[in-house]
Chain A
Amino acid sequence: MEIQLHDITKRFDELVAVNDLSMTIRDGEFLTLVGPSGCGKTTTLRMIAGLETPTDGIIEFGGEDMTYASPQERELAFVFQAYALYPHMSARKNMSFALEHTDISEEEIEQRISETASMLGIEEHLDKNPPALSGGQQQRVALGRSIVRDPEIFLLDEPLSNLDAKLRVKMRAELQQLHREIQTTTIYVTHDQEEAMTMSDRVAILNNGDLQQIDTPEVVYSQPANRFVAGFIGSPSMNFLDCRFEESSGTIQTDAFTIEAPSEASGDITTLGVRPEELTIVPTRDGDFSAEVTVFEQIGAYNIIHLAVDGLDEGIVAQVDGSKHFDAGDTVGVDIDPKHVHLFDANDEAVYNPPLASEESTALV
C-alpha cells in the first residue's frame, strides 16, 4: 500500500508538532522516520495510524483519502514502544484477540498464530502471560499480534528502545528479515540514527516538525542536505568548522589551516564539515595541520581521538584504525582529503557534498 502525505500540519494548541510535511512512502518500502525528541516523528506516525487527526493536510492510502478514517478502517498494525500487550491474557490470546469477532474462522486464527509464532520463535511461550516473558519475548509477541492481522501497513514506534543493546542489534536484523518475508509497507520511528541507517530502504530525517531530507541511508550519510542532517546522521558526529572560501586561490580557510577547495565548490561558504572517519592521522610534518590529542577512546575495531587544534575554539574528533594507539598529549598531523569534505552556506544548506561511495567504486572499476 502506497502512503502519501500532502502538506500535513499538526498543532497542539500553540505547539507545532509537524509542519507542512509532504512525503510518499512507496508500496512495500521500509521507511524510517528519525530525529531527536520532539521532532514530530511519533506524531506523524500516529496521524498515519489514525490515532491523531492532522490540523491541516491530506493522508492518502493507495490514492484514497484516509485523513479522517478511523484506525480500524485503515487496516494497519501498530507496534507500540512499550508493546501495549494485555497482561491478563496469554501470549496466544494476545495474538488471537485482534482476530476474534471478525469473519476469520477459528481454524484460520489457530493456523495464523502457529505460523507467526514459529516465524518469531515464540512457540514455547504462547501459553505464558506477558509479565512472565522477557523484554525480547514480549517484543516478539507484540510483533506477532500485528503480523497475524495480515495488515496492509506496518507502523512501529520505537519498538526496540526498551531492549538492551545486544538484543537491540539482534532484533534489528530480525526485523529486516521479517520485512523481507512479509513485504508489507513499513514505517518505523526511532531516535537512533544507527537503527535508521541499518534497517531502512529510505530514511526521513525530521527536526522541529520539519522534514529535513528523505533518501536512502547511503545518500543521507554521504550527501546530507543540510548541516542538521550532517550532524545527526553518523557516529561520532561530523566536525563542523567556521571557514571562508577564497574563490581566487580555490582554497577553504579556517582559523587554523587552509585546504584546497573541491573544484565544484562555489558561492557563499561558511562552514566546513568533515566526518571523523574521513580525517587521516599522519606524522606531524605531512599533515594539513597539527593537533594535540586530548582524549583517546579505545573502542576496539576502531578508536576515537579527540584533538585540540591551535586557533580553533572547539576540538575536533577523528576516527582511527583499531590498531592505532595514542596517548593524551601526543602531537599528531591531520590530513583532510579535499574531496571528502562537506560545505555549508550561511543558511546551513549543503553547497558541496562528496560523491557517493558506490559511484566512486563503480568509477574505479
Chain B
Amino acid sequence: MSETQDSLVGKLTTDRSQLDWRPYVYLLPAFVMVAIFLAYPLVDTFLLSFQEVVTLGGETRWVGLDNYVAVVTDPLFWVAAKNTLIFSVGMIVLPLVLGLGLAMAINRGIEGRSFLRSLIFVPVVVPIVVAGIVFSWLLSPNGLVNWLLTTAGVIEEPARFLNSTTLSLPSVMLMVLWKRTGYYMVILLAGLQGLPDDVYEAAKIMGKSRWAMFRHITLPLLKPAILITLVLGIIDTVRAFAHVYVMTGGGPSNSSEILSTHFYQVAFGYFNFGKGAAYGFILFGMALVFSTIAIKLSGGTEI
C-alpha cells in the first residue's frame, strides 16, 4: 500500500521535474517582440522621466520628480490642456452626436443608404495629413470657403481662419469633425443594426413616443457601442498631433496648441527628453483616467 503511494509520489515528482518546455518556445517570438518594442521602451522612458539628459550624447543624471513638476508648472501646459478640452468637443462630442444622427437616419432605411454610408465614410480613409492640407487650402484667405462667404456677402473681407487666435482651433475642429463623423457613424450603425426590431414594435404597441423609444431603448441598448466611441475618442484626443500640427502648428501664439503638439515641442523642439518623457507619462495617465471615468460613469464594464 505505502509502496504504491511512494511510487505514485515519485512518478508525480519526476513528471513535474520534466517540465514540458514546448509551449514556452512557441510563445518566445511574440514575447521577444513585446519585450523589445513595448516593454523595454516603456520602462526606459519611465526611468528617463526621472532623469535630466545633460548632453545629446546620452549623459544623464537623476533629478527625482523635477521633470513632472516642470511639466505641470509650465503655463503653456495648462493652455494646451484647456485647448485640448475644447478640441475634444470636435474630436468626441460633435462627431458622436452627428454620427449617431446619421447612423439612425441610415438605419431607418432612407434612399441610397449604401451610397450615403460610403460617402460619409470616405473622410475616415483620407490620411490626416492630406485632410489637414486640403482644409488649409479651403480655409486660406483665397480659398473656397472665403470665396463662398464673400460672394454670398456674409463677410466683406476674406477671414484669416488659420492665422486667427480665435478661429484657428475651431478651424482644426471643423476638419476633425469632417473626418471623425463617419468613423463614429459606422461603429454606431453596426450597433443599431444589432438591435432587434421587436423591442421597438413592443414600444409602438405600448404607445411610446419616438423620443421615449430613443431615450429608453436606443440609447441604453447602444451603450456598449457609444462607450467604445467615447473611449477611442478620449485616447485619440490625447494622442492627436498631426491634426493641429499640419494646419496651424499650434499657433498663432499657442492659440491652437494642444497637449500632444506641446509635448512634441518640449521633447523634440527643445530636446528636453527628460521632461518629454515625464510629459508622455502624464498624457498616458490622463488617457487612462478619463477612459476609466467614462466607463464607470456609464455604469458598464464591458467594451
Whether the pair A87, B205 counts as a contact (CB closer than 8 A) is: no
From A71, A81, A87, A145, B204 is in contact (CB under 8 Å) with A71
Whether the pair A51, B206 counts as a contact (CB closer than 8 A) is: no
A85 to chain B, nearest CB (A): 8
Whether the pair B199, A76 counts as a contact (CB closer than 8 A) is: no
A65 to chain B, nearest CB (A): 19
From B196, B207, B221, A82 is in contact (CB under 8 Å) with B196
Whether the pair A86, B204 counts as a contact (CB closer than 8 A) is: no
From B199, B207, B216, A84 is in contact (CB under 8 Å) with B199
A324 within 8 A of B: no
Interface residues of B in 190-232 (CB under 8 A from A): 196, 198-199, 201-202, 204-207, 212, 216-217, 220-221, 223
A97 within 8 A of B: yes
Whether the pair B196, A78 counts as a contact (CB closer than 8 A) is: no
A148 to chain B, nearest CB (A): 10
* Band of interface residues on A: 20 to 34
Whether the pair B206, A72 counts as a contact (CB closer than 8 A) is: yes
Residue in B closest to A142 when the chains form the complex, CB atoms: B202
Q: A97-B216, A101-B212 are in contact. Are A84 and B198 (CB under 8 A)?
A: yes
A49 within 8 A of B: yes
Interface residues of B in 180-197 (CB under 8 A from A): 196
From A49, A84, A88, B196 is in contact (CB under 8 Å) with A84
CB contacts (< 8 Å) of B212 on chain A: these are: 101
Interface residues of A in 45-102 (CB under 8 A from B): 49-51, 70-72, 76-78, 80-82, 84-88, 97-98, 101-102
Q: How far is the CA of A84 from the CA of B223 in the complex (A)?
A: 18
Whether the pair A80, B204 counts as a contact (CB closer than 8 A) is: no
A172 within 8 A of B: no
Whether the pair B204, A84 counts as a contact (CB closer than 8 A) is: no
CB contacts (< 8 Å) of A86 on chain B: these are: 199, 216-217, 220-221
Interface residues of B in 273-294 (CB under 8 A from A): none
Whether the pair B220, A88 counts as a contact (CB closer than 8 A) is: yes
Interface size of B by CB at 8 A reads 15
Whether the pair B199, A97 counts as a contact (CB closer than 8 A) is: no
Residue in A closest to B223 when the chains form the complex, CB atoms: A88
Q: How far is the CA of A98 from the CA of B201 in the complex (A)?
A: 12
A149 within 8 A of B: yes
Residue in B closest to A81 when the chains form the complex, CB atoms: B198
Interface residues of B in 54-103 (CB under 8 A from A): none
Q: A82-B196, A84-B199, A101-B212 are in contact. Are A76 and B205 (CB under 8 A)?
A: yes
Q: How far is the CA of A167 from the CA of B162 in the complex (A)?
A: 69
CB contacts (< 8 Å) of B201 on chain A: these are: 51, 71, 78, 80, 84
Whether the pair A98, B206 counts as a contact (CB closer than 8 A) is: yes
Whether the pair A84, B202 counts as a contact (CB closer than 8 A) is: yes
Whether the pair A77, B199 counts as a contact (CB closer than 8 A) is: no
From A78, A82, A101, B205 is in contact (CB under 8 Å) with A78
From B198, B206, B221, A87 is in contact (CB under 8 Å) with B221
Whether the pair B220, A49 counts as a contact (CB closer than 8 A) is: no
Whether the pair B198, A72 counts as a contact (CB closer than 8 A) is: no
B192 to chain A, nearest CB (A): 15
Q: How far is the CA of A88 from the CA of B199 in the complex (A)?
A: 12
CB contacts (< 8 Å) of A76 on chain B: these are: 205
CB contacts (< 8 Å) of A84 on chain B: these are: 196, 198-199, 201-202
Contact mask A287-308 → B, CB, 8 Å, 1/0? 0000000000000000000000
Q: How far is the CA of A84 from the CA of B212 in the complex (A)?
A: 16
Contact mask A254-274 → B, CB, 8 Å, 1/0? 000000000000000000000
Q: How far is the CA of A162 from the CA of B93 in the complex (A)?
A: 41
Q: How far is the CA of A78 from the CA of B206 in the complex (A)?
A: 9
Q: How far is the CA of A30 from the CA of B198 in the complex (A)?
A: 23
CB contacts (< 8 Å) of B202 on chain A: these are: 78, 80, 84, 145
Whether the pair B206, A149 counts as a contact (CB closer than 8 A) is: yes
Residue in B closest to A76 when the chains form the complex, CB atoms: B205
Interface residues of B in 217-272 (CB under 8 A from A): 217, 220-221, 223
CB contacts (< 8 Å) of B204 on chain A: these are: 51, 70-72
A132 to chain B, nearest CB (A): 15
Other CB < 8 Å A-B pairs besides A72-B205, A84-B202, 4 of them?
A50-B205, A71-B201, A72-B207, A85-B199
10 residue pairs A–B, Cβ–Cβ below 8 Å: A51-B205, A71-B205, A71-B207, A80-B202, A84-B199, A84-B201, A86-B217, A88-B223, A101-B212, A149-B206
6 nearest interchain CB pairs?
A72-B207, A84-B198, A84-B202, A98-B206, A88-B220, A71-B205
